Amino acid sequence: MPATEHSQELTAALEAARGAADVIRGFYQRNVKIEVKADKTPVTEADVRAEETIRELLLQRFPTYGFYGEETGKSDMNAESVWLVDPIDGTKSFVRECPFFSTQIALMRAGRFVLGVSSAPAYDELAWAERGGGAYLNGKQISVGKVATLDGAIVSSGNLKTLAASPAWERFGGLLGRINRIRGYGDFVHYHLLARGALDVVIESDVNILDIAALTVIVEEAGGRFTDLSGAPVDLATTTVLATNGPLHPSILETIRFGG
Protein backbone atom coordinates (compact mmCIF):
# COMPACT_ATOMS: atom_id res chain seq x y z
CA MET A 1 0.00 0.00 0.00
CA PRO A 2 1.56 3.35 -0.96
CA ALA A 3 2.36 5.58 1.99
CA THR A 4 -0.14 8.16 0.72
CA GLU A 5 -2.92 5.62 1.38
CA HIS A 6 -1.88 4.89 4.97
CA SER A 7 -4.08 6.23 7.73
CA GLN A 8 -2.38 8.46 10.26
CA GLU A 9 -2.63 5.59 12.73
CA LEU A 10 -0.91 3.09 10.45
CA THR A 11 1.75 5.62 9.52
CA ALA A 12 2.49 6.13 13.22
CA ALA A 13 2.45 2.39 14.00
CA LEU A 14 4.91 1.67 11.19
CA GLU A 15 7.16 4.50 12.34
CA ALA A 16 7.02 3.17 15.90
CA ALA A 17 7.85 -0.35 14.73
CA ARG A 18 10.87 0.90 12.79
CA GLY A 19 12.04 2.90 15.80
CA ALA A 20 11.71 -0.17 18.01
CA ALA A 21 13.61 -2.25 15.45
CA ASP A 22 16.55 0.17 15.69
CA VAL A 23 16.55 -0.22 19.48
CA ILE A 24 16.31 -4.01 19.31
CA ARG A 25 19.12 -4.37 16.75
CA GLY A 26 21.37 -2.45 19.13
CA PHE A 27 20.92 -5.13 21.79
CA TYR A 28 20.60 -8.33 19.76
CA GLN A 29 23.49 -10.78 20.14
CA ARG A 30 25.09 -8.52 22.77
CA ASN A 31 24.72 -10.83 25.79
CA VAL A 32 22.06 -8.62 27.36
CA LYS A 33 21.18 -8.88 31.04
CA ILE A 34 18.04 -10.92 31.70
CA GLU A 35 15.59 -10.36 34.54
CA VAL A 36 12.64 -12.60 35.42
CA LYS A 37 9.22 -11.01 35.93
CA ALA A 38 6.59 -12.11 38.44
CA ASP A 39 4.97 -14.35 35.82
CA LYS A 40 8.34 -16.09 35.37
CA THR A 41 8.89 -14.73 31.87
CA PRO A 42 12.17 -13.01 30.92
CA VAL A 43 12.58 -9.32 30.23
CA THR A 44 15.60 -7.35 29.04
CA GLU A 45 16.55 -3.71 28.65
CA ALA A 46 15.78 -4.15 24.95
CA ASP A 47 12.13 -5.01 25.74
CA VAL A 48 11.70 -1.98 27.98
CA ARG A 49 13.44 0.53 25.74
CA ALA A 50 11.65 -0.68 22.62
CA GLU A 51 8.27 -0.33 24.33
CA GLU A 52 9.15 3.11 25.63
CA THR A 53 10.04 4.16 22.08
CA ILE A 54 6.71 2.88 20.78
CA ARG A 55 4.63 4.28 23.61
CA GLU A 56 6.17 7.75 23.41
CA LEU A 57 5.53 8.07 19.69
CA LEU A 58 2.01 6.65 19.66
CA LEU A 59 0.73 8.59 22.65
CA GLN A 60 2.32 11.79 21.40
CA ARG A 61 0.42 11.40 18.12
CA PHE A 62 -2.78 10.09 19.75
CA PRO A 63 -2.93 11.38 23.33
CA THR A 64 -6.56 10.33 23.91
CA TYR A 65 -5.92 6.67 23.03
CA GLY A 66 -5.42 3.96 25.61
CA PHE A 67 -2.29 1.84 25.77
CA TYR A 68 -1.72 -1.78 26.79
CA GLY A 69 1.94 -2.73 26.78
CA GLU A 70 3.68 -5.95 27.76
CA GLU A 71 6.25 -4.05 29.84
CA THR A 72 4.65 -0.74 30.82
CA GLY A 73 1.15 -2.00 31.51
CA LYS A 74 -2.33 -0.64 30.87
CA SER A 75 -3.64 2.92 30.74
CA ASP A 76 -7.03 4.31 29.66
CA MET A 77 -8.37 0.88 28.69
CA ASN A 78 -11.88 2.37 28.56
CA ALA A 79 -10.90 4.66 25.69
CA GLU A 80 -12.62 3.97 22.38
CA SER A 81 -9.23 3.31 20.76
CA VAL A 82 -6.46 1.36 22.51
CA TRP A 83 -2.97 0.43 21.31
CA LEU A 84 -1.77 -3.09 22.16
CA VAL A 85 2.00 -3.58 22.10
CA ASP A 86 4.45 -6.39 22.67
CA PRO A 87 7.89 -4.85 22.02
CA ILE A 88 9.62 -8.23 21.75
CA ASP A 89 7.27 -11.15 21.31
CA GLY A 90 9.68 -14.03 21.74
CA THR A 91 12.06 -12.66 24.38
CA LYS A 92 13.22 -16.21 25.13
CA SER A 93 14.29 -16.54 21.50
CA PHE A 94 15.86 -13.07 21.57
CA VAL A 95 18.10 -13.80 24.56
CA ARG A 96 19.19 -17.14 23.05
CA GLU A 97 20.05 -15.39 19.78
CA CYS A 98 17.36 -17.20 17.83
CA PRO A 99 15.71 -14.87 15.26
CA PHE A 100 12.14 -15.99 16.09
CA PHE A 101 11.12 -12.72 17.76
CA SER A 102 9.12 -9.71 16.63
CA THR A 103 7.48 -6.44 17.62
CA GLN A 104 3.68 -6.55 17.63
CA ILE A 105 1.56 -3.38 17.46
CA ALA A 106 -2.23 -3.50 17.16
CA LEU A 107 -5.02 -0.97 17.43
CA MET A 108 -8.35 -1.93 18.99
CA ARG A 109 -11.33 0.31 18.37
CA ALA A 110 -14.67 -0.28 20.07
CA GLY A 111 -13.53 -3.80 20.98
CA ARG A 112 -12.43 -4.72 17.44
CA PHE A 113 -8.86 -5.09 16.20
CA VAL A 114 -8.61 -2.74 13.23
CA LEU A 115 -4.88 -2.39 12.54
CA GLY A 116 -1.84 -4.63 12.90
CA VAL A 117 1.91 -4.23 12.43
CA SER A 118 4.30 -7.17 12.83
CA SER A 119 7.99 -6.29 12.63
CA ALA A 120 10.73 -8.94 12.65
CA PRO A 121 14.10 -7.11 12.64
CA ALA A 122 16.30 -10.21 12.48
CA TYR A 123 14.32 -11.45 9.45
CA ASP A 124 14.05 -7.97 7.90
CA GLU A 125 10.29 -8.52 7.60
CA LEU A 126 7.62 -5.90 8.18
CA ALA A 127 3.99 -6.92 7.78
CA TRP A 128 0.95 -4.69 8.23
CA ALA A 129 -2.76 -4.46 7.59
CA GLU A 130 -5.75 -2.22 8.18
CA ARG A 131 -9.36 -3.34 8.00
CA GLY A 132 -10.55 -3.11 4.43
CA GLY A 133 -7.11 -2.30 3.06
CA GLY A 134 -5.49 -5.69 2.49
CA ALA A 135 -2.34 -7.16 4.04
CA TYR A 136 1.24 -6.33 3.09
CA LEU A 137 4.68 -7.79 3.68
CA ASN A 138 7.69 -5.58 2.92
CA GLY A 139 5.47 -3.39 0.75
CA LYS A 140 3.99 -6.21 -1.34
CA GLN A 141 0.35 -7.21 -0.98
CA ILE A 142 -0.02 -10.79 0.23
CA SER A 143 -2.79 -13.37 0.39
CA VAL A 144 -3.39 -16.79 1.89
CA GLY A 145 -3.24 -20.00 -0.14
CA LYS A 146 -6.13 -21.88 -1.69
CA VAL A 147 -5.67 -25.42 -0.32
CA ALA A 148 -9.14 -26.74 0.49
CA THR A 149 -8.54 -30.33 1.68
CA LEU A 150 -6.73 -31.68 4.72
CA ASP A 151 -4.59 -34.04 2.69
CA GLY A 152 -3.03 -31.05 0.95
CA ALA A 153 -2.61 -28.87 4.03
CA ILE A 154 0.59 -27.74 5.70
CA VAL A 155 0.00 -27.14 9.42
CA SER A 156 2.28 -25.29 11.84
CA SER A 157 1.87 -25.50 15.61
CA GLY A 158 3.29 -23.89 18.73
CA ASN A 159 2.64 -23.44 22.46
CA LEU A 160 0.64 -26.63 22.82
CA LYS A 161 0.90 -27.34 26.57
CA THR A 162 -2.77 -26.68 27.30
CA LEU A 163 -3.90 -28.62 24.25
CA ALA A 164 -1.67 -31.53 25.27
CA ALA A 165 -3.37 -31.68 28.69
CA SER A 166 -6.88 -31.73 27.20
CA PRO A 167 -9.12 -34.40 25.65
CA ALA A 168 -8.50 -32.71 22.30
CA TRP A 169 -4.88 -33.93 22.26
CA GLU A 170 -5.81 -37.35 20.88
CA ARG A 171 -7.97 -35.69 18.22
CA PHE A 172 -5.05 -33.40 17.33
CA GLY A 173 -2.92 -36.50 16.83
CA GLY A 174 -5.57 -37.91 14.53
CA LEU A 175 -5.55 -34.67 12.55
CA LEU A 176 -1.81 -34.95 11.95
CA GLY A 177 -2.34 -38.31 10.28
CA ARG A 178 -4.64 -36.69 7.71
CA ILE A 179 -2.62 -33.65 6.63
CA ASN A 180 0.18 -33.20 4.14
CA ARG A 181 2.88 -31.85 6.47
CA ILE A 182 3.35 -30.67 10.07
CA ARG A 183 5.81 -27.97 11.10
CA GLY A 184 6.42 -25.94 14.26
CA TYR A 185 7.66 -22.53 13.15
CA GLY A 186 6.14 -20.69 16.12
CA ASP A 187 5.84 -17.03 17.08
CA PHE A 188 5.32 -14.52 14.27
CA VAL A 189 6.94 -16.80 11.70
CA HIS A 190 4.08 -19.15 10.97
CA TYR A 191 1.56 -16.30 10.80
CA HIS A 192 3.62 -14.45 8.19
CA LEU A 193 3.93 -17.71 6.25
CA LEU A 194 0.18 -18.30 6.48
CA ALA A 195 -0.65 -14.76 5.34
CA ARG A 196 1.55 -15.08 2.25
CA GLY A 197 0.30 -18.55 1.32
CA ALA A 198 3.34 -20.64 2.30
CA LEU A 199 1.35 -22.78 4.77
CA ASP A 200 -2.33 -23.27 5.48
CA VAL A 201 -3.08 -23.67 9.21
CA VAL A 202 -1.64 -22.40 12.52
CA ILE A 203 -2.66 -24.01 15.83
CA GLU A 204 -1.60 -22.72 19.26
CA SER A 205 -3.03 -23.14 22.74
CA ASP A 206 -1.00 -20.93 25.10
CA VAL A 207 -0.86 -17.35 23.85
CA ASN A 208 -1.39 -13.83 25.14
CA ILE A 209 -3.53 -11.35 23.22
CA LEU A 210 -0.53 -9.05 22.83
CA ASP A 211 1.16 -11.86 20.84
CA ILE A 212 -1.64 -12.19 18.29
CA ALA A 213 -3.80 -9.05 18.07
CA ALA A 214 -1.84 -7.53 15.18
CA LEU A 215 -1.50 -10.90 13.44
CA THR A 216 -5.27 -11.37 13.60
CA VAL A 217 -5.75 -8.34 11.36
CA ILE A 218 -2.92 -9.32 9.01
CA VAL A 219 -4.17 -12.88 8.48
CA GLU A 220 -7.79 -11.84 8.00
CA GLU A 221 -6.90 -9.03 5.60
CA ALA A 222 -4.83 -11.56 3.64
CA GLY A 223 -8.06 -13.53 3.18
CA GLY A 224 -7.71 -15.99 6.04
CA ARG A 225 -9.72 -16.74 9.14
CA PHE A 226 -8.59 -16.30 12.75
CA THR A 227 -10.47 -17.61 15.83
CA ASP A 228 -9.70 -19.41 19.03
CA LEU A 229 -9.67 -23.22 19.07
CA SER A 230 -13.38 -23.36 19.87
CA GLY A 231 -14.21 -21.14 16.90
CA ALA A 232 -14.93 -18.01 18.97
CA PRO A 233 -13.76 -14.58 17.77
CA VAL A 234 -10.47 -13.25 19.16
CA ASP A 235 -10.75 -10.78 22.06
CA LEU A 236 -8.64 -9.60 24.99
CA ALA A 237 -9.18 -12.87 26.87
CA THR A 238 -8.19 -15.19 23.99
CA THR A 239 -5.47 -17.75 24.81
CA THR A 240 -5.75 -20.22 21.91
CA VAL A 241 -5.53 -19.86 18.15
CA LEU A 242 -6.84 -21.49 15.03
CA ALA A 243 -5.71 -19.45 12.05
CA THR A 244 -6.30 -20.81 8.56
CA ASN A 245 -6.60 -19.91 4.91
CA GLY A 246 -10.38 -20.02 5.37
CA PRO A 247 -11.62 -23.15 3.55
CA LEU A 248 -9.87 -25.45 6.04
CA HIS A 249 -11.28 -23.80 9.15
CA PRO A 250 -14.50 -25.82 9.60
CA SER A 251 -12.83 -29.21 9.15
CA ILE A 252 -10.02 -28.36 11.62
CA LEU A 253 -12.53 -27.15 14.23
CA GLU A 254 -14.65 -30.27 13.80
CA THR A 255 -11.62 -32.55 14.10
CA ILE A 256 -10.04 -30.98 17.19
CA ARG A 257 -13.19 -29.87 19.08
CA PHE A 258 -11.04 -28.15 21.71
CA GLY A 259 -12.89 -27.62 24.96
CA GLY A 260 -15.28 -30.45 24.28
- Across the chain, what does the average pLDDT equal? 94
- Whether the pLDDT of residue 3 is over 50: the answer is no
CATH 3.40.190.80 segments of the chain: 150-256
Q: 52-87, pLDDT tens digit by residue?
A: 999 999 999 999 999 999 999 999 999 999 999 999
pLDDT tens digits, residue range 22-60? 999 998 888 788 888 888 788 899 999 999 999 999 999
Q: Is the pTM of this model over 0.85?
A: yes
Domain 150-256, CATH number (from 3.90.1580.10, 3.40.190.80, 3.30.750.24, 3.40.50.300): 3.40.190.80
> CATH 3.30.540.10 residue ranges in the chain?
3-142
Q: Domain 3-142: give its CATH code.
A: 3.30.540.10
Per-residue pLDDT tens over the stretch 142-199: 999 999 999 999 999 999 999 999 999 999 999 999 999 999 998 999 999 999 999 9
Segment 208-260, tens digit of pLDDT? 999 999 999 999 999 999 999 999 999 999 999 999 999 999 999 999 999 75
Higher-scoring residue by pLDDT: 106, 3: 106
Asked if residue 4 has pLDDT above 70, the reply is no
Q: Are 114 and 26 in contact (CB under 8 A)?
A: no
Q: Is 116 exposed, middle or buried (0-12, 13-18, 19+ CB in 10 A)?
A: buried
Q: At what angle do helices 45-61 and 8-27 cross, to 10 degrees?
A: 160
Of residues 32, 59, 63, 62, the one with CA closest to residue 48: 32
pLDDT in tens, 115-140: 999 999 999 999 999 999 999 999 99
CA–CA dist 244, 93 (Å, integer): 25
